[in-house]
């Protein structure tokens, strides 16, 4: 992989970042199972194979990026002068935590560890500010992202 620089997003990155394919194709989803007994509720998540591949759109429209990028911290992954991925996060959603709301990697760059680098950079941003936790928001339908965050050692929680 070419040299990647992770840096604060600037306005000139937005056209390229908005143009990235924000969708994913997946053959799996994570299903929530509830088991209720008197005085107790057990919740579990399990990976389920779908009968066919589905396309999952990003929960926030890329077209809104230009209007909202400055409202919370955002880092861009750069190859030379080209923005190829980004991470958006907040330090106000949960006390003492970096809450990652978006990790988007352009299709040609997927599977090369770029999302991991962006998550690590957001975590480092939080550590510099004394934040002790990292929460990653992900759709249960986004099985590739769920697998990746599990591989990074994060726990699955349902809020």
Q: How would DSSP label each residue in 47-105?
A: EEEEEEEEEE--SS-GGGHHHHGGGS-EEEEEETTEEEEEEEEESSSSTTEEEEEEEEE
Looking at residue 30, its pLDDT comes to 84
Question: Is 64 a member of any domain?
Answer: yes
pLDDT of residue 126: 96
Q: Do the strands 97-105 and 133-136 form a parallel or antiparallel pair, or are they unpaired? A: parallel
Establish if 146 belongs to a structural domain. yes
Task: Please report which confidence band the pLDDT of residue 158 belongs to, taking 50, 70 and 90 as the band edges.
Answer: low
Residues of the domain holding 110: 5-24+59-151
CATH number for the domain spanning 9: value is: 3.40.630.30
**How do residues 105-125 score in pLDDT, each as one tens digit?**
999 999 999 999 999 999 999
Residue 129 placed within a domain: yes
- Look at residue 54 and tell me if it is in a domain: no
Cα 22 from Cα 102, distance rounded (Å): 10
What's the rounded Cα separation, in Å, for the pair 149 and 105? 14
Contact 66, 83 (CB under 8 A): no
Q: List pLDDT tens digits, range 73-116.
A: 999 999 999 999 999 999 998 899 999 999 999 999 999 999 99
Which pLDDT score, from 0 to 100, does residue 46 have? 87
The pair phi, psi for residue 116, each rounded to 5°, is -60, -45
> In the numeric block, which tokens belong to residue 42?
């057990």
Assess if residue 156 is contained within a domain. Answer: no
Q: How many domains does the structure of the chain reveal?
A: 1
**Radius of gyration for the alpha carbons in the chain, expressed in angstroms and rounded:** 17
Residue 72 resides in a domain: yes
Structural domain includes residue 158: no
The Cα-based distances of 84 to 77, 105, 146 in angstroms read: 6, 6, 21
Per-residue confidence (pLDDT) for residue 56, from 0 to 100: 93
């Amino acid at each position: 992989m070419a040299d990647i620089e992770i840096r604060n997003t600037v306005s000139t990155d937005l056209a390229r970042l908005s143009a990235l394919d924000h969708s994913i194709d997946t053959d799996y989803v994570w299903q929530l199972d509830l088991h209720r007994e008197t005085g107790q509720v057990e919740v579990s998540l399990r990976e389920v194979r779908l009968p066919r591949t589905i396309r999952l759109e990003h929960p926030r429209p890329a077209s809104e990026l230009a209007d909202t990028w400055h409202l919370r911290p955002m880092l861009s992954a750069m190859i030379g002068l080209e923005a190829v991925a980004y991470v958006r996060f907040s330090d106000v959603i949960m006390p003492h935590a970096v809450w990652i709301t978006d990790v988007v990697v352009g299709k040609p760059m997927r599977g090369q560890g770029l999302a991991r680098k962006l998550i690590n950079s957001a975590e480092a941003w939080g550590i510099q500010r004394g934040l002790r936790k990292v929460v990653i928001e992900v759709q249960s339908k986004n099985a590739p992202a769920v697998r990746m965050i599990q591989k990074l050692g994060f726990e699955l929680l349902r809020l």
